[in-house]
Structure 1
Amino acid sequence: MATICSLPRISHTIVVITLFFFHLGYYIVTATTNIHNIKGGFSAHLIHKNSPKSPLPKQRNNKVSRRLIGPDVLEAPMKLDTNFERIMKFSMGTPPIDIHAITDSGSDLVWTQCEPCNACYKTKFGVFDPRNSSTYKNITCRSGDCRLLGESYTSSLARVCKKEPSTNCVYMYSYADGTYTVGNLGRETISLKSTTGNIVILKDIIFGCGTTNNDTFSTGNEMGVIGLGRGPLSFVSQIAPYVGGRRFSHCLVQDPNLESNIYFGNGSEVLDEGVVTTPLVDHTTFYYVTVSGISIGNDFLPFNSNGTLLKKDNMLIDSGTPFPRLPKDLFDRVVTKLQKAVPLKSVVNKIYGLDTLCFITTTPLELPRIALHFEGGGEVLLSNKVLTAHENGMYCLVFVGGTDDFGYFGGMLQTDLLIGFDLDKNVVSFKPTDCIDYNKNN
């Protein structure tokens, strides 16, 4: 049996497991769909975990970001409020069982807890039992579907499979916050209610049926994860042949009491005036872009101050990590520039264990124009997103500083932006948008 492999943490640094590293394309699964959308795509609601509409209780757990442990992954040891996580509700099996899963663009696998449980965390919604579903299909270790696990399909499983080809396809997934899931791959029918009220039916979706699971910071209600990464097992890749391609977009609202929307396939394109598009850097799972620097007022601060060659994958787009993070050198230069530009007393404070700049004032303040610049041109204006009120009578940057050479475009920068990921064209697009209005009309 395969084992979970990870490197120990070093300071604020990197933890590693290798999954899907050989598969840069997407595997066309044999799912069929019944999509009542004439454009071929569909959209679904995303619910803040602490929203009144959420099925989960209003409980605030501090936790590290949920992300698959993978090669070259920056692991921030900051404590994050779980209300930044968003839930996508769908049903699984026949008869259908409701599943409330955390959406995660930092991993690929769709999984939920399954009976018979060897070790499952408690959930008030129960646990999916494939034995009670007439549409569940087991995946064996000899199946091509099992090989989509990449290096998680280990030599030990291969040896067992050679002797017993009917052995279940065993998967193991580990996340940066200590959450893990172990179980068998299977296929199942997933259905969900679109934002238009129509029912979307997705047959034979590959998913992880987890029988040994641990959610380190569980509220006792999380039922699994729906992976939105770039790998062949992600929800995005699996439904691609039936919705017009590997693309999706989302428009996240600032108000946690309101639903956001996520759009899949045709109809998810980010178009018209004001769109900024930049290439995605090739990666098996994660959404990396290349940032050339940040402008504050009329001054441009290059990502690298020492003249070294610009790292191509220096910014990770991840809505599951709330606070955007900058390398220490760039963060320090941003702090210096803002301290000179804003005539208020300020202090470098700790927020969830990492440095940020706070201005000592209880009155909202106006900052110079701040924009993030991509290599090759194009910028995203950030001025109205970079300050948050702090309980101690201060206004603090949402940016935090780290010690590594790349950063996060976190969820707090993504609100009121229509962000579209087109994996067929290998680009990501940004458009400033009133997401309440957009989600209401699309």
Structure 2
Amino acid sequence: MSFFPLAFIVFSLFLSTFSNGFSVDLIRRDSSKSPFFNSSMSRFDRLGQSIRRSQNRLAHFSSSIESLANHDETTSMIVPAEGEFLMKISIGTPPVDVLAIADTGSDLVWTQCSPCINCYKQDAPLYNTNKSTTYRRVSCNANSCETLSHSMCTREGCSYQMSYGDNSFSRGDLAEETVGLGTTADSKLVKHKGVVFGCGRNNAGTFMSSSSGIIGLGGGKVSFVGQMEEVIHGKFSYCLLPPLKTNEKKSSLMHFGDDAIVAGPGVVSTPIIPKTPDTFYYLTLEGVTVADGPKLDLVTDGDFAEVEKGNIVIDSGTTLTYIPETLHSKLIASVKSAVKKTSVSDPSGLLDLCYEVKPNEEMKLPIITVHFTGADLKLSPVNTFVMTSEGVLCLAFRPAGTVALYGNIAQMNFMVGYDLKKKTVSFKPTKCGSK
């Protein structure tokens, strides 16, 4: 039995073109193929880091929603350099390759630009606006300027300002450019004109030199997904691999367009609930079931109590799953009842319920079913438990604060499809990476 030791994944785009869309490879953030790979770290060190990033990301969602509620839109938090994927695109004419963080929790696409007032060090050459024949500054009365919550008007045109939870920031010009999907060496480069993006002239903080900015994959109109509407028709999907054995070369996949439709036996779907901000993908969690036990309902206050719609955000950039505290307490108690072993403390101090696993021991672990509206997902142990240190296995659920999040461990070995026209997320049990 294998358990999820790593979480963050690099999204490197190798384009396969189709008449009905395109597909990309997903590479684990901490794999040897990743620019983030650190050979001196153990798999448990990497997991610890990803769980800490998960906690930061939870704070990001909470702060973003709170800032919008307080009408403080220009300082909404997003988490830099801690997203799930890196995505390679090209920008400009002639095209310049850009490797940026792909973030399902934000909308704006931005990259560092030259001439630059203040740019953090990056490995790749900066995109130079003066050398591109297709660069255009967005005017203040453009729809994209009015739509983007982080925009502001200056004499020169529309600008943006992004503030981050760790005091990092990006400021610059809102502009339009030709964006290519693929690499500049690819003869099948697919180009899209007039893509709105942030041209970062003043950027600083904890950004890593291996990335050149952020590509927002959220649900807003200015996001990469929103702007590619004519090409992808509001559809994208991914299938996240479980942990690979040493030297395995399989990759996860992400699909865009009609090729991303999730269909066939075993598919269940749940509605995406429109809420503010429209960046996030809100679902409705109704409860969980452990093994053959009773359903643990999210709401139990009387026969007429209703579950709040859109009470959890699905996010591929979050490692753990965070559920409301009252439901989390029930889940802990139910798992303890189902697992006939004495629990131990997590040596890393990160998770709540852990068990000691002896070498070659096959633990009998319960199937946990997550109940969304219209969709019951049976999660195997690889979706619900992680090894945090040698011989210690822990439940990969934590109590949420103001925002509940359905993380990527729980999504492994499911084809997860988003249809923004139908406003649904679909799940299909799949052995990801198999032909």
The TM-score bracket by the shorter chain reads 0.7 to 0.9
User: Residue 293 in 1 paired to residue 292 in 2?
Assistant: no
Instruction: Assess if the C-alpha contact under 8 Å between 1:84 and 1:322 holds in 2.
Output: no
Q: Secondary structure at the match of 2:229?
A: helix
Structure 1, 308-317 or 286-295: larger mean CA deviation: 308-317
Match of 1:269 in 2: 261
Residues 372-414 of structure 1 show CA distances to partners (whole Å, capped at 9, x for unaligned) of 0112x3211113311111215211011112344x411101111
Match of 1:23 in 2: none
What's the CA shift for 1:153? Answer: 4.0
Match of 2:18 in 1: 37
Instruction: Assess if the C-alpha contact under 8 Å between 1:49 and 1:84 holds in 2.
Output: no
What's the CA shift for 1:54? Answer: 2.5
User: Residue 238 in 1 paired to residue 227 in 2?
Assistant: yes
What's the CA shift for 1:83? Answer: 8.3
Instruction: State the alpha-carbon separation in 1 of the partners of residues 325 and 192 from structure 2.
Output: 45
Instruction: Assess if the C-alpha contact under 8 Å between 2:83 and 2:102 holds in 1.
Output: no
User: Residue 122 in 1 paired to residue 121 in 2?
Assistant: yes
Instruction: Assess if the C-alpha contact under 8 Å between 1:171 and 1:184 holds in 2.
Output: yes
Match of 2:108 in 1: 109
Kindly provide the amino acid, as one letter, of the partner of residue 386 in structure 1: T
What's the CA shift for 1:219? Answer: 3.1
Provide the aligned length of Structure 1 versus Structure 2.
Answer: 383
Residues 52-81 of structure 1 show CA distances to partners (whole Å, capped at 9, x for unaligned) of 22344438665422957522599xxxxx9x
Specify which of 367, 370, 384 is matched with residue 368 of structure 2: 370
Residues 159-188 of structure 1 show CA distances to partners (whole Å, capped at 9, x for unaligned) of x5xxx4xx2211112344544321111111
Matches within 5 A, 1:397-408: 397-404=395-402, 406-408=403-405
Classify 1:96/1:302 alpha carbon distance in 2 versus 1 (closer, same or farther; 3 Å). same
User: Residue 323 in 1 paired to residue 327 in 2?
Assistant: no
Instruction: Assess if the C-alpha contact under 8 Å between 1:350 and 1:356 holds in 2.
Output: no
Matches within 5 A, 1:29-428: 36-39=17-20, 41-58=21-38, 63=53, 64-65=56-57, 70-71=64-65, 85-150=84-149, 152-154=150-152, 157=153, 164=155, 167-176=156-165, 178-193=167-182, 198-216=188-206, 218-243=207-232, 245-255=233-243, 258-283=250-275, 284-298=278-292, 299-307=294-302, 308-347=305-344, 349=346, 353=350, 355-362=351-358, 363-375=361-373, 377-384=374-381, 385-404=383-402, 406-428=403-425
Instruction: State the alpha-carbon separation in 1 of the partners of residues 310 and 189 from structure 2.
Output: 38
Instruction: Assess if the C-alpha contact under 8 Å between 1:324 and 1:398 holds in 2.
Output: yes
Which structure 1 residue ranges, 5 or more long, are not aligned? 1-33, 75-79
Q: TM-score, normalised by structure 1?
A: 0.79
Classify 1:303/1:350 alpha carbon distance in 2 versus 1 (closer, same or farther; 3 Å). farther
Classify 1:51/1:369 alpha carbon distance in 2 versus 1 (closer, same or farther; 3 Å). closer
Classify 1:351/1:295 alpha carbon distance in 2 versus 1 (closer, same or farther; 3 Å). farther
Instruction: Assess if the C-alpha contact under 8 Å between 1:88 and 1:102 holds in 2.
Output: yes
Structure 1, 271-280 or 92-101: larger mean CA deviation: 92-101
Q: Secondary structure at the match of 1:339?
A: helix
What's the CA shift for 1:282? Answer: 0.2
Kindly provide the amino acid, as one letter, of the partner of residue 211 in structure 2: E
Kindly provide the amino acid, as one letter, of the partner of residue 288 in structure 1: Y
Residues 309-347 of structure 1 show CA distances to partners (whole Å, capped at 9, x for unaligned) of 311121110011111112221111111111111111103
Residues 106-165 of structure 1 show CA distances to partners (whole Å, capped at 9, x for unaligned) of 111111111222222211113221111122111122333311214x345xx3xx5xxx4x
Q: TM-score, normalised by structure 2?
A: 0.80
Instruction: Assess if the C-alpha contact under 8 Å between 1:356 and 1:401 holds in 2.
Output: no
Instruction: Assess if the C-alpha contact under 8 Å between 1:47 and 1:88 holds in 2.
Output: no
Q: State the Cα RMSD in Å.
A: 2.9
Instruction: State the alpha-carbon separation in 1 of the partners of residues 326 and 412 from structure 2.
Output: 26
Matched residues, percent identical?
A: 35
Classify 1:178/1:436 alpha carbon distance in 2 versus 1 (closer, same or farther; 3 Å). farther
Instruction: Assess if the C-alpha contact under 8 Å between 2:17 and 2:23 holds in 1.
Output: no
Instruction: State the alpha-carbon separation in 2 of the partners of residues 429 and 297 from structure 1.
Output: 23
Which structure 2 residue ranges, 5 or more long, are not aligned? 1-14, 40-45, 69-78
Instruction: State the alpha-carbon separation in 2 of the partners of residues 97 and 423 from structure 1.
Output: 30
Instruction: Assess if the C-alpha contact under 8 Å between 1:139 and 1:146 holds in 2.
Output: yes
What's the CA shift for 1:46? Answer: 2.6
What's the CA shift for 1:351? Answer: 5.6
